[in-house]
Chain A
Amino acid sequence: MNHPRSALLISPPIYDTQYWAHWSLPYGLLRVASWLRTKGYALKLIDCMEANKKRVVQKKMWKVRKLCSTKEYTPADVGRTWSTFRPAEDEKIEYCFGLPPDELRKRLKEIQAKVRSAKQSLFETTTFPEPDEIWISSIMTYWWESTRDVIAVCREVFPKAVIRVGGIYPTLAPEHAIEKLGLKNPLHLQGRELDPLDPEQQRRDIIVSATIPDANPLALNLDLYLEDGAGEPEPDGCLPEYTILTTSRGCPFKCAYCAANVLNEGRKVWVREFDSAYEEIKHWFSRGIREFCFYEDNLLLGKSNFTDLIQKIADDPDLDGIELHAPEGIEVRLLHPKVVELMRKAGFKKLYLPLETVNVNMQNRWGRTHTNMDKFFYGFENAVEAGYKKHCQDINCFILFGLPDEDLQAVYDTLVFASSRVGSVIPMLFTPVPSTPMFEMYREYIEEKGFDFQHLNGKLLPFLDYNRRKYPTLSPKDYFALEGLMWRINAKVRSESFNFGGSGRVSRAFRAVFDTFQPA
């Protein structure tokens, strides 16, 4: 009797100094799961980043990283323990968020033990078999180390399984992945070249770049949180409280810091038929999910498709109570009055707008040719007109900083502008992304510092030393102060944040006193 091919799907933990697990669902992997199911696979999911009801994932102190440096250590290396350890001003603690590799090993061994005991039983039919393949998603390039560690654990427990690694990291840096992940003579394939039934591919480890076109229109296979492909219920399994939708891919623009073109093999925009997205929403809504999050390269580019979709949602009384989110931002130029009005009606409670900087020179340097302050005002004013309120996190704007050659005064100008006009700010520390023009522009510095990808995480201030050429006294404290100031702007009382630049008397008094105040 021929058994169906079996695949274990793993979303690895991540090593980082901070992580916000609100939308941590491995949507790429779950879409691949749907695709593999169409090929007859039996599947089992281990989502190491599965969050609890409060949308928090477990974390464990992992190592200490010196900022803008390759130096790393654990307290044990210097004769100390975590309980008494305090990082120096130029260091940060890196945590393992999610299921650490040691605990993953235990989970895999449990699966292995069940397989062995099932083999001895005549009646056991619902045990997931030893996997033929292990599919691992790998997202940020600076998180690649946890992918490596997960592969090592998988290899140890299931040496016969072949491994597939896909996601943003192997797409942007396949050579790095081939060299560093510990795969055995891997094939490097584009998603469109994948053929699970090809005997040659079935025998080899594979690095997968870009998306699998046939998987793009498929709904996420969230049922894997409830039971595996052999019909065995997952312990404490429950559906996530939200799901992620991707209704388009690609972006026609080429911003200097963005890798969308590489991820999507060019500037072409692919749009998913709105009917299938609508059916997916209806399906999960009927199963109790109320929050739907759009993860897109540029949400409004397929505008008519998107507006058709949200019009259907807005008109559907069965979807009453739905919450829609687009936390990756919306292109302000395309936020037309009717679109934003419809978005509000359909269930978008909050908007995220990429302000990034008010400085025209910086905008030009980043290749942001399709946007400018006039366009920001356009989108912002339309949002306010549609009923989104200022100063209460209905409208949030991203501010980018930590870039090489940045004008720090412009960053302060941007945050003061955002505080006053919008009232809510999301600080975004810059990470250079391999394959982007910006990465190439500063490659010499990156190589000179000996940085690998994990050192380029924006939270580790990789360009601190570079920017000291312009600001000789610049220290981590300056960036922490700046980031802290941005977060503080969002503090609210009676649903409103403080307005630095307001014309009210308290704002004026604040400015007058701050202008001359000399702290001791």
Chain B
Amino acid sequence: MAKLITGNALLSKHVTRRDRVLLLNPPVEETRYSWLRWNQPLDLLKLGSHLKSEVGCGVELLDCMKPDATGSVKEDWLPRDRRYHTVKGERYPMRRYGLPYADIGKHLESVKRDDAKRMPSQVWVTSLCSYWYGGGLAQTCRVIRETLPDTEIMILGQAARLLPKQVADGCAADYVVTKVPSLPNEPSALELYGTVMPQFLGLQLHPKLAIAEVKAAVERGILKFTFFDDDICRDGGEPLREIFEKTKDLHKHLRYHLICGLHPAKVTPAVATVIADKKVAESHFEEADTGGEMDVEVYRQVRSYLREAGLIDVDNRLSGFVWIGRPREKLEQIVARSFHVLNHLEGLILKPFSPTPGSPEHLDNKAYLAGIPVQNWSPHFFPFAELNGIAREEYHDLYRMAAFLNEKIRDGSFDFLKGTLGADMLRESLRKEVWKLEPSPLRVVN
């Protein structure tokens, strides 16, 4: 069984300049993966820089989630025996996203066979979400072990940090790194991607470093940037504004994608100016929640700041998340929240909830969650469904409703038939329950 070590121990005691480290971002096994194109192993890229500059060892990267030249990530059904995952009677079709395991094996095999100097002495495998440890992570470790039996395997990332014991039990690794080494000043080692760069670069909100990283990335032909940060409006939005202002003109096709950490309540006029700029390709607002209630006023305020910043028309770059699957939620609440978000923003994104191990939601529902295997904590399996009394099929229905509301017609999503006769007529048809129309009992056809 793998030993548990901290990040600092990993860097100080387990790796020397004589080592060759292969950093590996494994494939993901999931029932759906909407944010596939935004998967980037930021922790590995920063560790890569550190290993090269501070340790001086050899470093290579195998990013199984990197999109190919056409922008798509390989995916396939899981093998027949694992194709469906059943949670309380609901069958979920399962897919593998990223490089096939056989291709990982072939890659390692070719290194072993053709280039002894490149043979890794250690493989560091990361994990983006804790509940994924049993799938892609475990399978990848197995392939490494089978192909390179003498190579040490270290597991990092969220699964290792949040569920170290389960990971140590379930994966064929030598070490599980329980504490992530903090490397705030390390840039991402983009050079590890070789000649084919990724299509985007994830940043953190440290202006000096981020600006330097964007400049270097643009020189390498990367023009899309996003922030992997829980709160991108912190300090009044000043760091965001600074990074944006100092980099936006580096290339005419440079674009920022604000895909997470954008809290409506923290949006300031300065942040609104950034969002309104055409160089921001998309802005997804987190759900504004105050004590269990949606803070509708905050969305109004955001819209007003955006108007002041010059964003007057309907703009499909703006959308808002609405949580589903949180403990003790009600269906009516979710529907109403969806309506409110769409009333102020142009797009609605349902965001399924997963309890992070050790988080308040986990601790508040510890007894309930104790009966649910961690793999089933994936947001797509709705671990709180039983607690909420909402069936999983009803969650699928919510997605259907969101698809209906979100479908863009004439560039806009459902606008509640604002300013048209339609709102009243649709209400009237729904009140009349016209779907109950039945054939006449005396019908004669032909």
B397 x A488 contact (CB < 8 A): no
B397 x A473 contact (CB < 8 A): no
B399 on the interface (CB 8 Å rule)? yes
Q: Which one of B13-21, B117-125, B422-430 is at the interface? A: B422-430
Which residue of chain B has the shortest Cβ distance to A515 in the bound complex?
B427
Complex Cα gap A482–B407 (Å)? 14
Which residues of B sit under 8 angstroms from A519, Cβ to Cβ?
339, 343, 415-416, 418
Which residues of B394-446 are within 8 A (CB) of A?
394, 396-407, 409-410, 412, 414-422, 425-440, 443-446
Known contacts A374-B439, A493-B400, A506-B331, A413 near B445 by CB under 8 Å: no
Within the complex, the shortest CB–CB distance from B259 to chain A, in Å, comes to: 21
Known contacts A485-B422, A515-B427, A498 near B403 by CB under 8 Å: yes
Within the complex, the shortest CB–CB distance from B412 to chain A, in Å, comes to: 8
A484 on the interface (CB 8 Å rule)? yes
Other-chain residue from A496, A501, A505, A517 in contact with B435 (beta carbon distance below 8 A):
A501
A493 x B407 contact (CB < 8 A): no
A493 x B396 contact (CB < 8 A): yes
Which residues of B sit under 8 angstroms from A498, Cβ to Cβ?
397, 400-401, 403-404
B409 x A488 contact (CB < 8 A): yes
B400 x A492 contact (CB < 8 A): yes
B422 x A421 contact (CB < 8 A): no
Complex Cα gap A412–B433 (Å)? 12
Which residues of A sit under 8 angstroms from B426, Cβ to Cβ?
412, 416, 485, 514
Complex Cα gap A373–B420 (Å)? 29
Tell me the count of chain B residues lying within 8 A, CB to CB, of chain A.
55
Within the complex, the shortest CB–CB distance from B286 to chain A, in Å, comes to: 20
A76 on the interface (CB 8 Å rule)? no
Known contacts A374-B439, A500-B435, A501-B435, A474 near B430 by CB under 8 Å: no
A480 on the interface (CB 8 Å rule)? yes
A147 on the interface (CB 8 Å rule)? no
A506 x B394 contact (CB < 8 A): yes
Which residue of chain B has the shortest Cβ distance to A420 in the bound complex?
B435
B312 on the interface (CB 8 Å rule)? no
B335 on the interface (CB 8 Å rule)? yes
B74 on the interface (CB 8 Å rule)? no
Which residues of A sit under 8 angstroms from B399, Cβ to Cβ?
493-494
Known contacts A377-B443, A412-B422, A517-B339, A484 near B410 by CB under 8 Å: yes
Within the complex, the shortest CB–CB distance from A82 to chain B, in Å, comes to: 17
A511 on the interface (CB 8 Å rule)? yes
A469 on the interface (CB 8 Å rule)? no
Which residues of B sit under 8 angstroms from A505, Cβ to Cβ?
331, 390, 394, 397
B425 x A488 contact (CB < 8 A): no
B400 x A373 contact (CB < 8 A): no
A1 on the interface (CB 8 Å rule)? no
Complex Cα gap A336–B431 (Å)? 34
B115 on the interface (CB 8 Å rule)? no
A to B CB contacts below 8 Å, 18 in the list: A374-B439, A413-B434, A417-B434, A421-B437, A480-B409, A480-B410, A487-B409, A488-B407, A491-B400, A491-B403, A501-B430, A505-B331, A506-B331, A507-B397, A513-B339, A514-B416, A517-B339, A519-B339
What are the 10 A-B residue pairs with the smallest beta carbon separation, nearest first? A501-B435, A420-B435, A484-B409, A374-B443, A506-B397, A377-B439, A491-B403, A498-B400, A498-B404, A416-B429
Q: Which residues of B contact A (CB under 8 A)?
A: 300, 331-332, 334-336, 339, 343-344, 390, 394, 396-407, 409-410, 412, 414-422, 425-440, 443-446
Q: A378-B445, A420-B434, A512-B332 are in contact. List 14 more A-B contacts (CB 8 A).
A: A358-B434, A420-B435, A473-B421, A478-B420, A488-B404, A491-B406, A492-B403, A499-B397, A500-B430, A500-B435, A510-B401, A513-B332, A514-B426, A514-B430
